[in-house]
């Protein structure tokens, strides 16, 4: 099916997306390969009109994108970053504990995670706290409400939003180190 989809420019099988998302949840992380696979699936579904009223995913963080799954993925990455900077020696991060449920049933976890972030932000230096708080507020301002469930396509967007935001943190860290 995958080979035929590639040759004939058909949509990729939804089972491919399901497998990638299951592996993300099982490992509580997203690898480059799975992020690429999810992105290809979503972009192909957009091009073949299976997903309507969406623009294709870019190669890197898209701060203008307003899909709920993408925004929640970005927010989760920011909350994880806040926790990581506030407590560098944790045994289990929010990513380890909440990644699967945040990507499928956001209403169940994001209230708790945002409350915890206030505590973590209090531990940071004022400049860093301001930057991370501003980023968190920019994302939350675009979210009308936390949905009870994300459909499979939105779960894919969650994974890509999370991956893009994490890569953006890494890229900014490298460019600051070089300066």
**N-term to C-term CA, the chain:** 48
What global pTM score does this model have?
0.87
Percent of the chain with pLDDT over 70: 96
Q: Is the dihedral of CA 130, 133, 135, 137 positive or negative?
A: negative
If you average pLDDT over residues 164-169, what whole number do you get?
A: 92
Residue 9 banded pLDDT, cuts 50, 70, 90: confident
Crossing angle of helices 152-178/14-27, nearest 10°? 60
Indicate if the pLDDT at residue 174 is higher than 50: no
Indicate if the pLDDT at residue 172 is higher than 70: no
What single-letter DSSP state applies at residue 78?
Answer: H
Indicate if the pLDDT at residue 144 is higher than 50: yes
Indicate if the pLDDT at residue 30 is higher than 50: yes
Indicate if the pLDDT at residue 37 is higher than 50: yes
User: What pLDDT, on a 0 to 100 scale, did the predictor assign at position 121?
Assistant: 92
| 21 against 13, higher pLDDT | 21
Range name among 39-43, 50-54, 120-124 with the lowest pLDDT average: 50-54
User: What pLDDT, on a 0 to 100 scale, did the predictor assign at position 65?
Assistant: 92
Q: pLDDT per residue over 86-113, tens digit each?
A: 988 888 889 889 998 999 999 999 999 9
Cα-based angle 58, 64, 65 (whole degrees, multiple of 5): 60
User: What pLDDT, on a 0 to 100 scale, did the predictor assign at position 179?
Assistant: 43
If you average pLDDT over residues 1-8, what whole number do you get?
A: 78
CB 164 within 8 A of CB 78: no
């Amino acid at each position: 099916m995958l080979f035929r989809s590639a040759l004939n420019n058909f949509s990729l099988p939804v089972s491919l997306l399901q497998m990638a998302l299951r592996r993300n949840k099982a490992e509580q992380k997203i690898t480059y390969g799975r992020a690429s696979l999810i992105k290809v699936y979503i972009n192909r579904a957009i091009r073949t009109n299976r997903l309507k009223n969406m623009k294709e995913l870019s190669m890197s963080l898209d701060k203008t994108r307003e899909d709920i799954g993408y925004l929640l993925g970005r927010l989760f990455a920011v909350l994880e970053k806040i926790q990581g900077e506030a407590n560098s020696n944790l045994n289990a991060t929010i990513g380890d504990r909440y990644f699967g449920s945040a990507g499928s049933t956001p209403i169940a976890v994001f209230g708790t995670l945002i409350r915890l972030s206030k505590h973590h932000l209090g531990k940071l230096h004022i400049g860093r706290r301001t930057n991370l708080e501003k980023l968190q507020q920019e994302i939350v301002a675009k979210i009308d409400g936390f949905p009870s469930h994300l459909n499979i396509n939105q779960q894919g967007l969650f994974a890509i939003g999370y991956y893009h935001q994490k890569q953006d943190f890494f890229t900014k860290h490298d460019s600051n180190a070089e300066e």
